[in-house]
Structure 1
Amino acid sequence: MHYLAVNPVGVFVFDEENKLVKFKYLGSNPEEAAGKLDKFEKGEIIPEIQELKNEFKDLNSEQPNKATDFLRENFRKIVIENKLFKTENELNQFLNSVLIAKSKLSISKIERRDKLIIQTISALNDLEKILNTISERLREWYGLHYPELDIRDHDKFASMVAEYGDRKNFNNFKNSMGMELREGDVKILQHYAKQYNELYEMRKEIEKYLEIVVKEEIPNLNAMLGSTLAARILALAGSLEKLAKMPSSSIQLLGAEKTLFKFLKGKEKSRPPRFGLLYLHPDISTNKRELQGKIARVLSSKLTLAARADFYSKKDMSKELLDDYKKKLDEILKANV
């Protein structure tokens, strides 16, 4: 019977008397060795082991076995005696390099889906600013030609400009005090308006994607806040881990840091802020001013539990959290009728 043992250096085969009968390096460099060691630890059969199995039909490759214990206790002696490395210093350098490479590999495979949410909401915020800027510019620019065009909706305004171009093409157009435009002027305006429309469609796609990824990755926060507000709270915290470790009072004030610092420095004579971004939650923004602080405290306490559930247990407790929150919200509202 032959026994297989694997470590960062390579693959060892020992006989019944613990004599090394075969050895194969895991790789010519630490990165390759780290990659193969990672695959082996996941239960995958690497080429070196498959070759040894073909060569030794009685090979016991189950881990651990008598060879793994023997190798662990006599590793350095075996390596030096069999001249697998010239010196112990060379062995140490190789082992350190493999372990560093394996650590980097492990870190790179850690899923950071919360970072995707943060980047998505940041992209959405950027698009919102860009669309507002383009819309204002388009209105001023096209207003030189047709100032009487009264369409409040930015998206509809851009679509109309892109479609009709010259004011004469609009339905019910009679006259205007605006300047005449040449064909080239109209074309560039239409192109500009089309760019707005394309960005607007992109925003809608990103919003749909955000709803999906937030519901999948942070279902409890999503249930309490909705996808957009949950993503913005997460972005302010920096990561789901940081949010899960925050006390409810810190979550309540996310987004109000500047006001809080001014108050602490004595620059603000008014009261300290009661909430930050949570003001956007309809239960807070639509209620009486004297109730907003109480509701924000209840909501933030539930958000603490939601964030911890999303980060640590990955358990969907949204129904339980939401029911409890609504119950406490009703108590606050009834007590102040």
Structure 2
Amino acid sequence: MALYLLFESASGYSLFHAYGLDEIGQNTEAVKNSILDLTRFGKIVKFEAFHPFASALDALNQCNAISEGIMTEELSNFLSVNLPKVKDGKKAKFSLGVSEPKVGSQIAETIKIPCQCNEFVMELLRGVRLHFDRFIKDLKPTDLELARLGLGHSYSRAKVKFNVNRVDNMVIQAIFLLDTLDKDINSFSMRVREWYSWHFPELAKIVNDNYLYAKIAKLVQNKSELSEEHIPQLADILGDEDKAKEVVEAAKASMGQDLSPLDLINVQQFAQRVMDLAEYRKNLYEYLVTKMNDIAPNLASLIGEVVGARLISHAGSLSNLAKCPASTLQILGAEKALFRALKTRGNTPKYGLIFHSSFIGRASARNKGRLARYLANKCSIASRIDCFSESNTTVFGQKLREQVEERLDFYDKGVAPRKNIDVMKAAVETVLNDGSQKADEMDIENGADDASAKKSKKKKKSKDADAMEVDKSTVTNEDTPAEPTTEKKKKKKKDKSNREQEVTTEGVNGENVDGAEQSGTAKKKKKNREVSDDGDVEMASTAKKKKKKNKVRNEEDE
């Protein structure tokens, strides 16, 4: 059986024909030895056809399709043109060697060409890749290298692309930086306190907040220059005029040593840096809140933005967190304690990072473990909804939070909570209602411009309906009585059939029903119409047929 090889390069599709396989056999060692020598390999494999890609974008699309196991129309046409044709109902006398098994299976299904992908075929394709630039005369090695480099960059760039609005990596970096800033701001604030306390030690007891202490240290600088004129400025910083007066009084009777102007400038600059870090920490926290509302809104509304971000960061990504079972999510962050307990056969930890949630703090000591297990279950549900749902909503997180509140009341007061299935049904209904309301609003906005057009269409329809009614009234006879509804139906069937016959003759011939008004001119017009127009002749014939049918019905009724 003949063997053809499909080779996908960065420049296009190529087809090779393998000869002499009976002599070499399926021994891969012999093939490996023959691959290195072009003269020997050229006797085994010969070039058949080549189809270049139209552009770099076309090459990227073809490469993506092959990596996903999809046979494109371009590849199908290339194979159908260059491979031997197979007759209907007969097996092919050749096979096609491919490097991707998924592509080979799709080729076998669509084109009915048997494909194989084994070690022997892979060795042959490796030799084709090694000597590819020598098989095609017009192709230079430098051109092939540039094509490979460009395709590799574009393929990698396409694989790295992601949804900008849902990037959990940004949340991971933000929470890491937030924790680092908390440590740095705390240590720097203590350094400011220690440094400035040499000059004004009484200020540390009056002002406890680190940020406010740095602000006052920057404002006061030299305590000897502090006077009652600075009380309004100190009151604006501290928010209390009494404390501002206390600071001024303490500065007058301070036991601190004097500092040189250069030392005071350095203290002032360092206090400004601490203030800047505190402001940046505040902005970073707001950024984290917005990103969590975009990426994991339900998890954020259930357990909070910071704790939810810590869970995502510890798991590695939102998808990894969604794949974790509730029992694993419960002890995330307590791995050391878990393995220590397993090693020493002690009690395993009841909670990890979710201990920082406010629910665990509100629970009693004996119910902390039970509530942690329940909260981990709800966090697992919320993370899966956030990861795999397309709609960005916080309804499920709010409903799950209500369930945790009800569970707290159940532990404390014994109030029976709602079932999970009822809560989830209510959440789904609210989401659907919100979606329908948004759709209605969009329809109203889009339909506001088309209101006049719809009104005109309705007017036209009403006019057309009135015209149709007028036409129907002209066709029907006004002198005909109403349909019989009395008990004497058998006798009046005959009259009804006669009236229908008269109405049909009137509609066909365009004459009145009364026989007295039928004149000779009308009969002449009738004859002229039947002779002149073929369509009128057909209408007249149909009228005669209806007359015969009505006569037969009358005879049957009699």
Q: Aligned equivalents of 2:211 and 2:83: distance in 1?
A: 72
Which residue does 2:312 correspond to in 1? Answer: 234
Deviation, structure 1 residue 262: 1.6
1:162 partnered with 2:210? no
In 2: Cα distance, 1:75 partner to 1:129 partner: 69
2: distance between equivalents of 1:324 and 1:193? Answer: 44
**Cα separation, 1, equivalents of 2:268 and 2:317:** 41
Q: RCO greater where, 1 or 2, for CA within 8 Å and sep 6 or more?
A: 1
Q: Pick closer, same or farther for the CA change 1:37–1:259 going to 2, 3 Å.
A: same
- Moved segments of 4+, more than 6 Å: 39-42, 93-99
Identify which range, 188-197 or 319-328, moves more after superposition. Answer: 319-328
Given that 1:306 and 1:317 are in contact with CA atoms closer than 8 Å, whether structure 2 keeps it comes out as: no
Structure 1 residue 24, shift from structure 2 partner: 6.3
Contact 1:309 1:317 in 2 (8 A): no
TM-superposed deviation, 1:237: 1.0
Post-superposition shift, 1:178?
A: 1.3
From 321, 340, 365, the counterpart of 1:243: 321
Verify the 8 A CA contact 1:158 1:193 in the aligned structure 2.
yes
Please, which runs of 5 or more residues in structure 2 have no aligned partner? 1-8, 14-48, 65-70, 85-127, 227-247, 414-558
- In structure 2, the CA distance between the partners of 1:37 and 1:162, relative to structure 1 (3 Å rule), is farther
Q: Which residue of 1 aligns with 2:121?
A: none
Answer yes or no: is the 8 Å Cα contact 2:174–2:284 preserved in 1: yes
Instruction: Indicate the larger mover: 182-191 or 313-322.
Output: 313-322
* 314 and 257 in structure 1: CA distance in 2 versus 1, 3 angstrom threshold: farther
Task: Tell me which residue corresponds to 1:30.
Answer: none
Give the equivalent residue in structure 1 for 2:244: none
Letter in 1 for 2:178: L
Structure 2 counterpart of 1:184, from 262, 265, 289: 262
- Aligned equivalent of 2:351: 275
Q: 1:1-337 alignment to 2 at 5 Å?
A: 9=11, 26=55, 33=56, 37-38=59-60, 69-73=76-80, 86-87=134-135, 100-111=152-163, 113-149=167-203, 150-170=206-226, 171-172=248-249, 173-266=251-344, 269=346, 271-316=347-392, 318-337=394-413
Shift of 1:72: 4.1
Gaps of 5+ in 1: 1-6, 12-19, 27-32, 43-62
Q: Contact 2:53/2:59 (CA < 8 Å) preserved in 1?
A: no
Tell me: CA distance 1:73–1:283, structure 2 relative to 1, closer, same or farther (3 Å): same
Q: How far apart, in 2, do the equivalents of 1:64 and 1:255 lie?
A: 48
Question: Which residue of structure 2 lines up, in the alignment, with residue 53 of structure 1?
Answer: none
Deviations 1:305-327 (A, max 9, x none): 11112222234463234324423
C-alpha distance in 2 between matches for 1:39 and 1:198: 49
CA-to-partner distance for each residue in 1:113-167, whole Å, 9 max, x for gaps? 1011000111111111110110011111111111111210100000001111112
Distance in 1 between the 2:325 and 2:60 partners?
A: 38
TM-score by length of 2: 0.46
Shift of the 332–191 alpha-carbon distance from structure 1 to 2, 3 Å rule, reads closer
SS in 1 for 2:252: coil
Distance change >3 Å, CA 130–CA 69, structure 1 → 2: same
Q: 1:187 to 1:165 in 2, by over 3 A?
A: same
Which has the larger helix fraction?
2
> Could you tell me how far apart the structure 2 residues matched to 1:285 and 1:314 are?
33
Task: Supply the distance in 2 between the matched residues of 1:129 and 1:119 (Cα, whole angstroms).
Answer: 16
**How far apart, in 2, do the equivalents of 1:10 and 1:335 lie?**
69
Structure 1's 132 and 64: CA in aligned 2 closer, same or farther, altered over 3 A? closer
Deviation (angstroms), 1:23: 6.0
How far the C-alpha of 1:109 sits from its partner, in A, is 1.1
* 1:105 Cα deviation after fit: 2.2
Tell me, in whole angstroms, the C-alpha distance in 2 between the residues paired with 1:75 and 1:293. 70
CA distance, structure 1, for counterparts of residue 405 and residue 268 of structure 2: 50
TM-score normalised per structure 1: 0.74
State the distance in 1 between where 2:83 and 2:222 align.
84
User: Shift of residue 98 of structure 1?
Assistant: 7.1
